[in-house]
Amino acid sequence: MTRIVKDPEERRLELIDVAERLFAKKGYEDTAVSDIVREIKVGQGTFYHYFRSKEEILEAVAEKKVAPLAEEIIRISKADGDPASKVNDMLNAILRANSSEMGIMNLLFQKGNYLLHQKIEAAIETRVLPPMAEMVSKGTAEGRFNAEYPVEFIEFLLASALFLSHHIPSDTERREKMRAALEKIAARELGVADYRFHLEI
């Protein structure tokens, strides 16, 4: 049988993709390194060439899941426009982050994925929260916002949007009430009277 030699980065990404799929299907606790390497027909030595442990590839999976959202948040923060509109766009980006079966929050709340939950939360805290908090702090300093605790508020808003993205009610009336409530909280806590937030859920 001919041994297939792949580019190192391609092989690393393949291992991450397979691990992500197995963690989503079986849960982190019930997935072994042997399961990951068996899926792509390589030895465990290949796995340990790229990752020191199963927890290290878990961190890579968490980083992969959060990276697109982080990139979108940074893009929004650097674009021209009204700070209130940017906050609105950021919240909608967060709500869209769970739009598929492999969405961030679906993995977080899956049985056996407690450690993945921790890793994704840590990645969100380091990659997504800072640009959001920086933008709100800047808007407050410029007088666009009147937020007493801008960093703490954006933490609360981020957590609320992530929770809502995973717990969107099927009942239309209740969904509309939850959306309206979050919109009003954002406007009130940011001290914005001349902008109407519109969340897409």
Integer Cα distance of 18 and 40 in angstroms: 8
pLDDT score of 1: 41
pLDDT in tens, 160-170: 887 777 677 67
Which domains are assigned to the chain? 61-190 (1.10.357.10)
- Residue 10 CB partners (closer than 8 Å, separation 6+): none
- In this prediction, residues 21-39 reach a mean pLDDT of 92
Please check whether residue 43 is in contact with residue 26, taking contact to mean a CB–CB distance below 8 angstroms: no
pLDDT score of 4: 59
> CA angle at residue 114 from 175 to 167, to 5 degrees?
5
pLDDT score of 39: 94
96 pLDDT band, cuts 50/70/90, is confident
pLDDT score of 172: 85
- In this prediction, residues 48-61 reach a mean pLDDT of 95
Integer Cα distance of 149 and 140 in angstroms: 10
DSSP 73-126: HHHHHHSSS-HHHHHHHHHHHHHHTT-STT-HHHHHTSTT-HHHHHHHHHHHHH
Integer Cα distance of 134 and 13 in angstroms: 31
Integer Cα distance of 32 and 16 in angstroms: 13
pLDDT score of 120: 84
